[in-house]
Structure 1
């Protein structure tokens, strides 16, 4: 399909979507990408933060001349808020037709199939090896990922994109 034709289709699609939005109907998606999202649960970072805040409270209460003022409670509240943010912001791996995407500390990262050197699956771990950069490691212990399910879906992804797949 030519690019000018795609631009015309996108422009017309945006006009149709604006009209449908005004009418209260759902939007039409052009070339909807079929992807599978596998989510885990981060529990180690929140537990460590809560243990740290508990230690902070114990040590500050035992210090001589310490007063529990407003700043003390704001600090405790902020750490509890940070722990809840880590708990409710679930880690994920999205497997698309020709890409994989996940969330890192610096934001969402997407890697195309051409940028992947290989995929290694072993009990409890899935490792995606990029051509350039650090490996993406997904662990059952750290983030409660369903690694067996991830391994099966990544196997079909690797076969369809010609990526080296290793089962250990």
Structure 2
């Protein structure tokens, strides 16, 4: 592909992204290239699956000793299976943080979210946790304890990201 063709594609994509931003829609993600690498750090969700399994075990224990499961019939066992499936789903759907040239992206509880430079107020780092602050809305918190993120590697990449984009970076 010629360079002029690539420039036309980038120009059209930036115009389309501006229109989508005005409409409140997420911008189109540019194709990955060697000049703009995206670094992705994956964690492991442990807390929510553990809570669901403990809740399911308690519910099952109480229902079996009380005899309430006899009235529910097969619906009781379907409910138990659904809770176990939900715990498995949370375990396999790994949380992540992707750091690009001008954005950070993460899987939140409601789906994948992207923060662009204008939406990042600052980045705070403590031992074992990282906080990405926003002007409005909740802060994004990544911890080694709850989600098993590699926070040391993420800190180095976020430090470079903050320096390149003039974002306040605080280390405690």
Tell me what 2:142 maps to: 138
1:45-78 Cα offsets, whole Å, 9 max, x none, are: 1111011111011100111464172111111110
Q: CA deviation at 1:159?
A: 0.5
Q: Counterpart in 1 of 2:64?
A: 61
**Pick from 106, 109, 113: which aligns with 1:109?**
113
Query: Shift of residue 94 of structure 1?
Result: 0.2
Q: Please give the residue correspondences for 1:14-93 in structure 2 after superposition, counting only pairs within 5 Å.
A: 32=33, 33-64=36-67, 66-67=69-70, 69-93=73-97
Cα pair distance change 1:141/1:59, threshold 3 Å: same
SS in 1 for 2:101: coil
Q: 2:122 matched to which residue of 1?
A: 118
TM-score by length of 2: 0.79
Distance 2:100 2:10 in 1: 25
User: Alignment partner for residue 131 of structure 2, among 127, 136, 142?
Assistant: 127
Segment of structure 1 superposing worse, 156-165 or 30-39: 30-39
- Whether 1:161 and 2:165 are equivalent positions in the alignment is yes
Distance 1:8 1:165 in 2: 31
Which stretches of structure 1, 4 residues or longer, exceed 6 Å deviation after superposition?
A: 1-4
- SS at the partner of 1:121? strand
In 1, Cα distance between the equivalents of 2:68 and 2:81?
A: 22
* Separation of aligned partners in 1, 2:59 and 2:10: 60
Describe the SS at the equivalent of 1:76: helix
3-state SS in 1 of match to 2:121: strand
Aligned length: 150
Equivalent position of 1:18 in the other structure: none
1:9 to 1:138, Cα distance in 2 relative to 1, 3 A: closer
Aligned CA RMSD, in angstroms, stands at 2.5
